[in-house]
Amino acid sequence: MLPYKSLIQIDRKASVTLYIQVCNSFIALITNGTLQPADILPGTRILAELMGINRNTVKLAYQELISQGWAESVERKGVFVLSRLPVRSKKILPEPGKNSPPQEAFIWTNSFKNAVPGKNFQKTTLTIDDGFPDVRLAPVDLLMREYRSISRRFYGKTFLKYGGPKGSVNLREAICNYLGDTRGLVISAENILITKGSQMGIYLAAQLLLHPADYIAVGVSNYGFADDTFKYIGANLLRIPVDGKGMDIDYLEEILQHKQIKAVYVIPHHHFPTAVTMSAERRLKLLNLAKAYRFAIIEDDYDFDFHYDNKPYLPLASIDHNQNVIYIGSVSKTFAPALRIGFMAGPSAFINAAASLRELIDKQGDTLLEEAFAAMFNDGEMERHFRKSLKVYKQRRNLFCEILKSDFNEVIEFSIPEGGLAVWANFDKKIDLIKMSEEALKKGIDIDNGNFYKNESFVTNALRMGFASLKENEMAEVLGILSSVLSRKS
């Protein structure tokens, strides 16, 4: 007889009843091959004595095994593992001392072997991030009030049912109005798809536009997750230089003479990572080229709402008269990153196709949350939040740049950003950013090591330093620690 006393483990403090624990233990022994079809199970009296449990508990366990189809009772002979079950080979454990690599249970393609998981910014460590809003400024209480209010109304229960894949009609209309007021973008709700942040918009657009071996033009410096999205599809990335006026459209024009490009991915406002803004001349030329060569423009406008010193340029989508632009934006980047609300705007047929694709991976978003945001837009709360945040972030930008200029003048070169939430900081070549990041973490602050911004064509000793999420006292503390770390390295 098998050593059931050691094979069957029971926990008298567990919420699961004892007879179910015994039943589940027998199921595990059957499925792992320890017990084979037609094997006899120990008598109820014997097992009860071995386990130190009541005999009725064992009887109930056997009845449950029989009712689930794992065992059968044979009159005057006992309870047996069901004879009709397929034979299972017993799992063989590796011999002690042998470290042979485990064999995969099934064949699959791992395209993410070298992927580095995204950082967790929910910890309490003081952080110089790469340009996130200060979630403490977000009127989350008002948002949750709207959320609760809608859920309690008689019509609010309907939002708990499946909705359309494009997202809340009310939020789409509210965003249309907001885009019209702030960006001069005149569209209807049919031209909008609500997404789980801008990254979903990039993924959906790429899947519809690109096939393996297609060419897409991107910046020499570029948003890494966008690059990875295009590479995952199998597209070829054509790197276009980026200077102080944004992507070099003259260079792009030369490429177009001998390459058929399906799309151009561009961040004309506050280019990621360098924060430069594309000039009006280049914007118009890019639109003319898109019309002439019939390629799509994926315009990533992740933080349009934050400009400090002048009126922002209109997005490409606002001056596109040929419908070449797929416009992607985010509410998350201006409110709170974890509240995944973004949008994609474009020709209605393209948006309908994107909505159908979205259904395959994520049937819909959080309708109640979308309705709550719609109410916030319609009540003017979002506009008030943006105005308040803009004032705070401008003060923080100014102080941050003053400290960089006074305390880091010899090791960091930078330009004061006219908008956005981060400074693109070029460090002296003698500074090892990886070691700097490690030493800073030992001192209690988290700062990136710059590797995220590098690619096969762009290697620089620089990183984005976000100022928006730091209060003035926090800013002084983290930059003071960083200064002490760098002073020991110089």
Q: Residue 101: its pLDDT value, please?
A: 62
pLDDT, tens digit, 9 for 90 and up, residues 107-151: 888 787 777 776 766 676 788 999 999 999 999 899 899 888 888
Q: In this structure, are residues 478 and 445 in contact, taking their beta carbons and an 8 Å threshold?
A: yes
How far the first Cα of the chain sits from its last, in Å, is: 73
Q: Residue 95: its pLDDT value, please?
A: 59
Share of the chain above pLDDT 70, in %: 95
Task: Give just the sign of the alpha carbon dihedral 141, 145, 147, 151.
Answer: positive
Does residue 340 carry a pLDDT above 80? yes
Measured CA to CA, the distance from residue 323 to residue 300 in angstroms comes to 16
pLDDT, tens digit, 9 for 90 and up, residues 217-259: 999 999 999 999 999 999 999 999 999 999 999 999 999 999 9
Q: Residue 380: its pLDDT value, please?
A: 92
Does residue 105 carry a pLDDT above 80? no
Does residue 54 carry a pLDDT above 70? yes
Q: Residue 219: its pLDDT value, please?
A: 97
pLDDT, tens digit, 9 for 90 and up, residues 126-138: 889 999 999 999 9
Does residue 96 carry a pLDDT above 90? no
pLDDT band at 69 (very low <50, low <70, confident <90, very high): very high
- State CA 246 to chain mean position distance: 26
The count of other CB atoms within 10 Å of the CB of residue 253 is 15
Average pLDDT, integer, range 408-437: 94
Q: Residue 333: its pLDDT value, please?
A: 80
Measured CA to CA, the distance from residue 134 to residue 121 in angstroms comes to 12
Q: Residue 338: its pLDDT value, please?
A: 80
Measured CA to CA, the distance from residue 302 to residue 270 in angstroms comes to 9
Structure tokens at 316: 């490409």
Closest CA to 436 of 463, 415, 406: 463
Q: In this structure, are residues 222 and 247 in contact, taking their beta carbons and an 8 Å threshold?
A: no
Measured CA to CA, the distance from residue 190 to residue 365 in angstroms comes to 17
Q: Residue 411: its pLDDT value, please?
A: 94
Structure tokens at 244: 């102080």
Does residue 358 carry a pLDDT above 90? yes
Residue in this structure with the two tokens 């009030």, named with its chain if needed: 145
**Burial of residue 465, with CB atoms counted within 10 A of its CB: 0-12 exposed, 13-18 middle, 19 or more buried:** buried
Residues near 405 by Cβ (< 8 Å), separated by ≥ 6?
none
The count of other CB atoms within 10 Å of the CB of residue 172 is 24
pLDDT band at 154 (very low <50, low <70, confident <90, very high): low
Does residue 443 carry a pLDDT above 80? yes
Q: Residue 232: its pLDDT value, please?
A: 94
- Topology of domain 4-81 in CATH is Arc Repressor Mutant, subunit A (1.10.10)
Q: Residue 104: its pLDDT value, please?
A: 73
Average pLDDT, integer, range 37-52: 94
Residues near 354 by Cβ (< 8 Å), separated by ≥ 6?
193, 204, 205, 208, 344, 346
Q: Residue 121: its pLDDT value, please?
A: 63
Does residue 167 carry a pLDDT above 70? yes
pLDDT, tens digit, 9 for 90 and up, residues 259-282: 999 999 999 999 999 999 999 999
Closest CA to 222 of 207, 196, 240, 244: 240
Report helix angle 280-293 to 249-256, nearest 10: 20
Measured CA to CA, the distance from residue 68 to residue 277 in angstroms comes to 66
pLDDT band at 26 (very low <50, low <70, confident <90, very high): very high
Residue in this structure with the two tokens 């973490």, named with its chain if needed: 441
Average pLDDT, integer, range 147-175: 84
Q: In this structure, are residues 78 and 40 in contact, taking their beta carbons and an 8 Å threshold?
A: yes
Q: Residue 98: its pLDDT value, please?
A: 59
Does residue 428 carry a pLDDT above 90? yes
Q: How far is CA 403 from CA 25, 164, 166, 274, 419, in A?
A: 64, 49, 45, 20, 18
Q: What is the mean pLDDT of the chain?
A: 91
Does residue 183 carry a pLDDT above 70? yes
Q: Residue 312: its pLDDT value, please?
A: 80
Q: Where are the domains of the chain?
A: 4-81
pTM of the predicted protein model = 0.84
